[in-house]
Structure formats: C-alpha cells, structure tokens
Amino acid sequence: EFEGSKRMRIAEAGAAQLEEHVDSLIVVLNERLFSVMGDDAEMEKCFQCADDVLHNAVAGIAEIINVEGLVNVDFEDVKTVMGEQGKAMMGTATVSGIDRARLAAEQAVASPLLEGVDLSGARGVLVNITASHTLRLSETREVMNTIKHYAANDAT
C-alpha cells in the first residue's frame, strides 16, 4: 500500500533479478514501517529506522572481520555464510539482566523490518557475541541453542 501496487511489482521484480546475481540480499519494506513505528511516527525517524537495519548489517560484518574476539570469526567465515545465495538477515540485540542470553538471541533473530526472511530455511548462520567479561559458558550455549531452534537443521 505504501509504495502502490505498480511500484511494488517493479521493486519485487528488481529484487528477484538482483537476487540471482548477488550472494546475499537484504530487503527492507517501507510498508513494515507502519507496523513497527506506528502511524504517528515522523517520516524522517521511520526512514532512519530502515537505514539503521542496513547500517547495523554492514557494521556487524565489519566488526566480525576487524575485531579480534575470544572465538576467532574472520573474513573466511563471513564469505562462507554470506556466499550462500539468497535473502540475508542481520540481527542485533542488546540485553542485560536475568535471561539475557536467550532474550538477546530471540531479539536478534526477530527483525520485523526484514521481508520474507525465515531462519528455518537458512543455509548458513554466523553468530558473533559481544559481551562483558561476566558472560558465562552456559549463556553462550543458550544463545547457540536458541538460534539453532530457529535455523535449519543442516545450517552451516
């Protein structure tokens, strides 16, 4: 409705053609802004929210590649996962307190602005956890088990 039916058909056709030539494609629907931001939200803030999804995706990849962590995830890991052709989803979450690991994982896999991304069909999943020194091994396991619950059984 936001774009109009003709413009939406053109966008969908363009995305389908683009998907054939890229490793990963992130699609943000302006229509989803209404349900996420509400009808009374300012236009500029709505579009900033959509831009933030893309910014966070690029920043997340850059962090994985450039920031050394306890578990070494590098450019080769990113290439392996992002090299699986299809739609991509990048999720982030910041949580503290009780049950922070599970809540962060659930929030990271639930991005209402991303169109048609269902992790159950994901062929690759890359997880990067940035946490304080108080992160427990059991919390890391909880993050991974939560994400595995959403992803395909044979996901990389």
Q: What is the DSSP string of 83-137?
A: TS-EE---------STTHHHHHHHHHH--TTBSS--GGG-S---------TT--H
Which has the closest alpha carbon to 105: 70, 59, 151? Answer: 151
Q: Which two tokens stand for residue 149?
A: 């619950």
DSSP β-bridge partners for residue 24: 86
Q: What is the DSSP letter of 155?
A: -
- Domains of the chain: residue spans and CATH: 23-150 (3.30.1330)
Dump pLDDT digits (tens) for 86-99.
Answer: 777 778 888 999 99
Predicted local distance difference test score (pLDDT) of residue 68? 82
Dump pLDDT digits (tens) for 89-143.
Answer: 778 888 999 999 999 999 888 877 665 566 776 777 888 888 889 999 999 999 9
DSSP helix/strand/coil, 30: coil
Cα separation, 21 vs 18, whole angstroms: 5
